[in-house]
Amino acid sequence: MWPSVSVVMPVLNEERHLEHAVRAIFAQDYLGDVEVCLALGPSTDATNDVAARLQANEPRLRTVANPTGKTPAGLNAAIRATTGEVIVRVDGHSVLSPGYITRAVETLRRTGAANVGGVQKAVGTTPFEEAVAAAMASPFSMGGARFHTGGAEGPVDTVYLGVFQRTAIEQVGLFDEKLVRNQDYELNIRLRKAGHTVWFDPKLEVEYRPRSSLRTLARQYAEYGAWKRHVLRLHPKSLKLRQIVPPITLIALMVSSVAAPWVPITLVVPIVYAGVVVLVSLTTPKRNAFRLIVVFPTMHMSWAWGFLARKR
Residue pair 61/36 in contact by the 8 Å Cβ criterion: yes
Residue pair 74/63 in contact by the 8 Å Cβ criterion: no
pTM for this model (two decimals): 0.89
Average pLDDT, integer, range 25-34: 95
Domains in the chain: boundaries: 5-120+150-204, 229-308
Distance CA 93, CA 122 (A): 10
What is the pLDDT confidence band of residue 286, given thresholds at 50, 70 and 90?
low
Average pLDDT, integer, range 22-33: 94
pLDDT, averaged across the chain = 92
The predicted structure's pLDDT at residue 137: 85
Q: Is the predicted pLDDT of residue 254 greater than 90, yes or no? A: yes
Q: Is the predicted pLDDT of residue 149 greater than 90, yes or no? A: no
What angle in degrees, to the nearest 10, is found between the helix axes of 214-234 and 183-193?
Answer: 30
The predicted structure's pLDDT at residue 261: 85
The predicted structure's pLDDT at residue 67: 95
What is the pLDDT confidence band of residue 312, given thresholds at 50, 70 and 90?
low
DSSP state, residue 266: G
Rg (Cα) of the chain, in Å, rounded?
A: 20
Distance CA 173, CA 8 (A): 16
The predicted structure's pLDDT at residue 123: 86
Average pLDDT, integer, range 65-86: 96
The predicted structure's pLDDT at residue 287: 66
What is the pLDDT confidence band of residue 81, given thresholds at 50, 70 and 90?
very high
The predicted structure's pLDDT at residue 264: 86
Give the domain 5-120+150-204 fold: Spore Coat Polysaccharide Biosynthesis Protein SpsA; Chain A (3.90.550)
